[in-house]
Amino acid sequence: LSFLFQQSYNCGIVPTQWKQAFVTPIHKSGAKSDQTHYRPIYLTCICYKIMKHIMLNHVSKHFAVNNILSKFQHGFRQAGSFNDDTTHICNPWMVFTPTKIQPGWCCLPPLSKGFWQSSTPTSLQQTDYYGIVGDSQNWLMYFLTARKRAVVVDGSRSFWWDVTSGVPQGS
């Protein structure tokens, strides 16, 4: 596997099978007839997951060494999470509201949705800006493009379709 990973990195090519995902809907709660009560789980090749983890560590070290991420960027860090971001955003409102005189109201957009819809061309343009160049940039460009997915329900699979936006889970 080490040889395969090194060849993939050096050539900037990700095997097609690694860029295919089977989407399986998992029921969360509520009426099973309501599609909003399901969470999509993307099943991918284990080699892909290992290589993705290697690249994530590589890029994370690059960000840390070059102090690229803001101190307020909690996601994509070893000890950070989306919940940390949400707490950081909401905490000032929770401290100052509500009062006895005037209840405080705030409206938050569904923050989690924004993380799934990252534009692939935008992500690729940012690699230059953040100093991710050479073999790493080539591998990431190939990794993020020409991905496909198919839905699997009760053993039946849909046709494959292109993934044109977003990044793979955990990326």
| pLDDT tens for each residue of 89-118 | 555 555 554 555 444 555 555 544 444 455
* Each residue's pLDDT tens digit, 46-84: 998 899 889 888 888 888 888 887 776 665 566 655 555
> How many CB atoms within 10 Å of residue 171?
16
Taking the alpha carbons at both ends of the chain, their separation in whole angstroms is 20
pTM: 0.65
Quick one: average pLDDT of 7-35? 91
pLDDT at 130 over 90: no
Q: Is the peptide bond before 103 cis (omega within 30 degrees of 0)?
A: no
Q: Is 5's pLDDT higher than 70?
A: yes
Parallel, antiparallel, or unpaired for β 20-27 and 147-153?
A: parallel
DSSP state of 165: B
> What rounded mean pLDDT belongs to the chain?
77
Say if CB 137 and CB 8 are below 8 A apart. Answer: no
Residue 113: what pLDDT?
A: 47
> Would you say residue 9 has pLDDT above 90?
yes
Nearest Cα neighbor of 56 from 80, 77, 74 is 77
